[in-house]
Homo-oligomer: A and B are copies of this chain.
Amino acid sequence: MNNIEICLTPKLFQQYTVDDKIVVIVDILRATTIITTLFHNGLNKLIPVKSLDEAKEYKKNGFLVAAERNGKKVDFADFGNSPFEFTTDKIKDKTLVYSSTNGTNTINIAKQAEQVIIASFLNLSSVSEFLEKQDKDILILCSGWMGDFCTEDFLFAGALSTLLMNTNKFSFNSDSVQVSIDLWNMANQNLSDYIKTIHQYKRLVDFGFQEIVKYCFKIDITKVIPVLDNDYLVELQ
């Protein structure tokens, strides 16, 4: 039996050891949803960067750059934070530098793990099927919101934990995993209604991003799994 844990926000990451674990990075609204979309649309390589200064430096050197802060594209970037911008004609076989408010920081703190993969509702079953075959303990690392708990990442953690538990190859010893499973099973009875209670959902709908938010909760539209390879993300082969 392999173990499942959930880290509710990067601020609690130091509570966990990850050297021998697979870390599953989650930032449903929106970094990991976008990163999944990028590789689904044929991106070759993603360079996650923390600061806007770094992103700007890459831009000067001719790289394509996606960068947002607080949900808005920064002025020098080629792309912002809408998954619909990254069409195949713009990104197929290319390298993209990517910086977001929460998600890319989360990727960087998990680097010492055995393996780091990127998950979202878009590739949920594919991630579960991959993990089932690895015989490794799992830490689901939620990006959260402003350092704190957010529902959308926790719901995803519950959805993934439910699938993993159904394989009979995993166990857990953690209240967060139990509660995430309970919440997912409750919310999933009417997911499109439940997500309306989410703080960040309401905020993004107020900004006019309803279609984007709906997209972020689409389940299993792709099989691709982005994976950290040294300092870059590539598609898991």
Contacts and interface: CB of A to CB of B under 8 A. Distances in A.
Interface in A111-159: 145-151, 154
Interface of A, helix, strand, loop or mixed by DSSP? helix
A12 interface: yes
A-B interface, 8 closest residue pairs, ranked by CB to CB distance from nearest: A151-B175, A149-B176, A175-B199, A150-B175, A178-B197, A15-B147, A15-B148, A151-B179
Contacts of A148: 12, 15, 174-176
Contacts of A199: 173-175, 178
Contacts of A176: 148-149
Instruction: Report the interface size class on chain A.
Output: 20 to 34
Contacts of A197: 178, 182
Given A8-B8, A178-B198, 15 more contacts: A11-B15, A12-B12, A12-B147, A12-B148, A15-B148, A145-B175, A148-B176, A151-B175, A154-B175, A175-B199, A175-B200, A178-B199, A182-B183, A182-B197, A183-B183
A183 B179 contact: yes
Contacts of A200: 175
Interface string A28-42: 000000000000000
Contacts of A146: 15
Contacts of A151: 175, 178-179
B175 A8 contact: no
A151 B149 CA distance: 14
A147 to B, nearest CB: 5
Contacts of A182: 183, 186, 197
Nearest to A181: B197
A187 to B, nearest CB: 8
A183 B184 CA distance: 11
A12 B175 CA distance: 17
